Chain A
Amino acid sequence: MGIKLRLENLTKVFGELVAVKNLNLDILDGEFICFLGPSGCGKTTTLNMLSGLEEPTEGRIILDAKVINHLPARLRDIGLIFQDYAIFENMNVYENLAFSLRAKKVHKDEIDRVVKEEAGRFQLTGMLYKDTRTLTPGDLQRVAIGRTVILAPSVFLLDEPLDNLDADMRITMRGELKRLQKDLGKTMVYVTHDQEEAMSLADRIVIMNLGELQQFNTPVNIYNRPTNKFVAGFIGKLPMNFIDCHLKEEAGKLILFDTNQTFQLDISKHRKRIESSIPGKELCLGIRPEHVSMASVSEKDSCEVTIRNIEVLGAENVVEFNLKGESGVVRRMTVPPEVIPNVDDRILIRFQQEKIHLLDHVKGIVLI
């Protein structure tokens, strides 16, 4: 698999605002890449530079081993799919799909063959001659995607295309889009603010914040091994729990404990990794809600917590709790659906040792 798209020192500055700062990454042929981040992180600006709608302030964009910085948008071998479909309302589905082929003066028999084939792929066969104004949002998005697929571009760029759809339709279209990309084998670059969408679609995710690349890796790696506090807190449907803590030496062991000393964890086996990173005094334990479990008295790393709230979600329940002496902060754990504790109950919990993250508070980097 070769490199399809390379971003080299890509930077975009608007007046005093650095929207994208020195972005460097390689996207491989046939990869589904998601650019993920909160509003203002630079993902859409990056996409706009790739499509040609914005010019980079510095840096190069290299597509199929050619620098394309100075190519106008219409001459780049790129297919764009937007949130608002950009369907021609005065044409029916057939004509929308056929549009770009007609512009290229392809023979009408060939157009007919291609359109009907693509319509089949997108389940549009039954509505080829329908007025686009009567279509549902999901169907409109399929027409928009179909129209772009017919162009057979080298790379697809998608800007939050599923944002206008309702929850059920989003999940359905997500699965279709993912399967489409695998069938076509084409490279897709997809921008979203929805971490669940990025997790489900991407081969690799580019997480950005304030114009800078935070982490670029597979969904599973980003989820299990976030490299900084921003990524750790951003990925995951429920936020990761962050608990301030400190280190001490006791009887030859390296012990991690929280400010109120409600728990003590022996993390001696990570000694090498921590010492070599010169940690600041301010450390933070990160643990995902699904890695916090109920414990029994006999487990030495257990600690007592007070239940503050329970959310019954059906397939599982979310329990909010506080450690002793804590207030004004929300900690969460997920429990199986049959477990329903009462508010103000005190229970014992433990953190699954292999799933603990240790973060340097000041530098924001993950040590474990």
Chain B
Amino acid sequence: MATIRMENVTKQFGPDKQYCNVYDFNFEVKDGELFCLVGPTNSGKTTTLRLIAGLEKPDQGHVYIGDWEVNHVHPSQRQIAMLFETLALYPNKDGYGNLASPLRVRKVPKVEIDRSVQEVATLLGIKHLLNRTPETYSGGEKQRVALGRILVQRPRAYLLDEPLGALDARLRISMRSELKRLQRELGQTMIFVTHDQEEAMSLGNRIAVLKEGRIQQIGTPLELYHHPVNYYVAKSIGKPAMNFYDCTLRQRNEKTFVMHDHFSLDIDDRLKGIKKQPKERKMILGIRPEHIDISDVKQTEEDIAAEVFISEPLGAKAIVDFKLSEETIRALTPSDQQFEIKGKKWLRFQKRKIHLFEKESGEAIF
């Protein structure tokens, strides 16, 4: 049983330290959950892992593993295994030696070590690497051996710091599904750190979005995708990214509209029943590329006239960029549609899929 809980954890480093601060972190990773921390380079993801592993001590707050408060427990005693970005395989040992090393350190009997190593090697399909050293491994093979080395430890939870970072695109995709299936089969708690939002979306049962040491939102991939609580989360999740436009709220004929230089949209229906009514008038409107309808003829009053800037066929879909004076509207379309550069089209934002954020605070209205 291993839930992992952070309660009001704050850690601040001095000015020239390598790691980033974290402020007032509160979250609980459930037993058997695959939890992702996602954010750019300076957001505090690695610090969080190090705090859980015990490589750093919180300045404030508590870290719990299960019911056990572990602030003062040495990393080696926490029964947690961490996989670093650099993998850190022992270059002078073969596959067997690498997998066996954590058990040898603990003075586990030889017979037991052999059983564990063979079991993990079979599970990961790396038996053929046991008698070879790491410099002969491919990227994916190095990954698996590094993963094997933490699996043999049978920890209560796994911490993985950007483990797929060094792999090329195609290999990342296949390793991702392997990892997800493995985690589910083992039923073990896993915290996974990545800067790649697509990776977080595809792997995580739940995701925490981090920005400059503060948690922005915690939720399932779908929750973050469809109901981002602020502008930062909205722009961090989803590829291609959401489109954003500065707008103002106006009242007209007792209805509320968002006004932009080149379009205005009646959002009265969307505002009904929203607890948090907007206090400001400066807004940011957000719409995802796949929620924009394109047609050759104007169909409603709110349709927006735009010119095709460029289209990029991607195989299954195409990305089409439209120009609205100086601004760009990016849409995702089925691949069989043809778009001519400078062609004029009418665009419509799907009303129920529009997002509205207060410009000042970045908070979502809907």
Residues of A at the B interface (CB closer than 8 Å) are 38-39, 167-168, 171, 174-175, 178-179, 182, 193-196, 199-201, 219-220, 223, 235-239, 288-290, 308-309, 311-315, 318, 320, 330, 334, 337, 343
Contact = CB atoms under 8 A, between A and B. Distances in A.
B232 to A, nearest CB: 14
Could you say which of A179, A195, A200 has the most chain B C-beta atoms within 10 Å of its C-beta? Answer: A200
Interface in B190-226: 196, 198, 201-203, 220-222, 225
B17 interface: no
Query: Which among A193, A199, A220, A314 has the highest number of chain B CB atoms within 10 Å?
Result: A314
B332 interface: yes
14 contacts: A175-B310, A179-B341, A194-B169, A200-B313, A220-B335, A290-B316, A309-B181, A311-B201, A311-B203, A312-B225, A314-B201, A314-B225, A320-B177, A330-B177
B237 A314 contact: yes
Contact of B309 (A179, A201, A238, A315): A179
Nearest to A332: B177
B91 interface: no
B239 interface: yes
Given A167-B239, A315-B288, A238 B312 contact: no
Contacts of B220: 312
A311 B221 CA distance: 9
A79 B310 CA distance: 24
B316 A313 contact: no
A288 B174 CA distance: 15
B290 A237 contact: no
A330 B335 CA distance: 25
Contacts of A220: 313, 335
B259 interface: no
Contacts of A315: 238, 288-290, 332
Nearest to B178: A330
B173 interface: yes
Contact of B312 (A168, A194, A200, A309): A200
Contacts of A236: 315-316
Nearest to B240: A171
B72 to A, nearest CB: 39
Contacts of B310: 175, 178-179, 182
Nearest to B222: A312
A113 B169 CA distance: 43
B313 A219 contact: yes
Contacts of B241: 168
Given A167-B239, A201-B312, A330-B174, A313 B319 contact: no
A175 B290 contact: no
A93 B276 CA distance: 48
Given A195-B169, A320-B177, 8 more contacts: A175-B310, A235-B315, A237-B315, A239-B170, A311-B203, A314-B221, A314-B222, A330-B174
Interface residues of B, number: 39
Given A199-B314, A309-B177, A314-B221, A175 B201 contact: no
B239 A311 contact: no
B168 interface: yes
B264 to A, nearest CB: 27
Given A168-B241, A313-B201, A320-B177, A175 B315 contact: no
Contacts of A194: 169
Among all A-B residue pairs, the 4 with the closest Cβ atoms:
A200-B312, A311-B202, A314-B225, A312-B221
B321 interface: yes
Given A199-B315, A239-B170, A315-B290, A343 B202 contact: no
B224 to A, nearest CB: 9
Contacts of B198: 313
Contacts of B202: 311-313, 318
A333 to B, nearest CB: 12
Contacts of A39: 168
Nearest to A343: B184
Contacts of A238: 173, 316
Nearest to A340: B222
B104 interface: no
B180 interface: yes
A200 B319 contact: yes
B308 to A, nearest CB: 11
Contacts of A320: 177, 181
Given A315-B288, A330-B177, A199 B313 contact: yes
A334 B316 contact: yes
Contacts of B288: 314-315
Contacts of B315: 199, 219, 223, 235-237, 288
A175 B312 contact: yes
Contacts of B176: 311
Nearest to B290: A315
Contact of A312 (B201, B312, B314, B316): B201
Contact of B238 (A175, A237, A314, A334): A314
B124 to A, nearest CB: 12
Contacts of A199: 312-315
Among B288, B313, B319, find the residue whose CB has the most chain A CB atoms closer than 10 A. B313
B168 A193 contact: yes
B99 to A, nearest CB: 21
B314 A178 contact: no
Interface in B222-238: 222, 225, 237-238
